[in-house]
Amino acid sequence: MGTGRTMKSLLCLLALAPVMLAAASAENANYKRIRAASEVFDEIMTAPDKGIPRSLLRKAECIGIVPDLKRAGFVVGAEYGKGFLVCRTATGRWSGPSVIRIEGGSIGFQIGAGETDLVFLVMNRHGQDKLMSDRFTVGGDATAMGGPVGRTVEAETDALMRAEILSYSRSHGVFAGVSLDGATLRPDNDDNWKLYGKTVTHRAILTGETPPPAAAHRLYAALDRHVPARAARD
């Protein structure tokens, strides 16, 4: 009788093994992606005479980082990738990271072949509110443009002041502002479930309602090095 129970338990474990391995693999992929996003942001911000102007970072309501955006074969305007979005909460600190997917659109020929790193800033509360929807189209749901590069922005043009999203790409060591018009952003609910260990909504993560996972500490360290915290909102 004891042997029968042992065999049944063993068979159950064997049946569950593929599911457990898949979950562990997805969890590891998220951790690796967080590490990659942190390194991308650090490297961009510490490059001599380059980087995103700090004056813009201080104003940004949200920051998105997508390491290793891929061009789908030879199809122009068919990019895809996964990354993270964090937003300012009412406390002035960053929210937990929400896993996002970027698909479609055309980010220009600057990225060349292969992979590129993408960083984008959401500059006002309207853009932030739009990003909390289940599907967001850059240039359609919010105005967007390639962001200026350099330590400071000497002259903020009217277009720059009106833009709700400023975006940048880095490919083969070249860092520049790049257009994301037509690209869609949406939360990856499956990966967020794996990252947080429970069912969470994109909005709950970005508003700070959901506490950040321990795995995000590396990303926060990179952000804190280059983007100061704000005072809490009234």
Per-residue pLDDT of 197-207, as tens digits, reads: 999 999 999 99
User: Per the domain annotation, does 234 fall within a domain?
Assistant: no
- State pTM to two decimals: 0.81
Distance, CA of 62 to CA of 37 (rounded, Å): 15
Cβ within 8 Å of residue 81, ≥6 positions away: 66, 67, 68, 69, 70, 101, 102, 118
Q: What is the pLDDT of residue 20?
A: 39
Q: What is the pLDDT of residue 153?
A: 59
Cβ within 8 Å of residue 7, ≥6 positions away: none
User: What residue numbers bound the domain in which 172 lies?
Assistant: 42-226
First to last CA, the chain: 67
User: Per the domain annotation, does 222 fall within a domain?
Assistant: yes
The total domain count for the chain is 1
Q: Residues of the chain with pLDDT > 90: what percent?
A: 33
User: Per the domain annotation, does 132 fall within a domain?
Assistant: yes
User: Per the domain annotation, does 65 fall within a domain?
Assistant: yes
Q: 2-46 and 189-196 are packed helices; what angle lies between their axes, rounded to 10 degrees?
A: 110
pLDDT in tens, 30-70: 889 999 999 999 998 988 777 888 888 888 999 999 988 76
Quote the tokens at residue 120.
């984008």
In the predicted model, residues of the chain with pLDDT beneath 50 are 1, 13, 16-26, 72-78, 109-112, 155
User: Per the domain annotation, does 189 fall within a domain?
Assistant: yes
The answer for 25, left when phi > 0, alpha when psi is -120 to 50, beta otherwise, is alpha
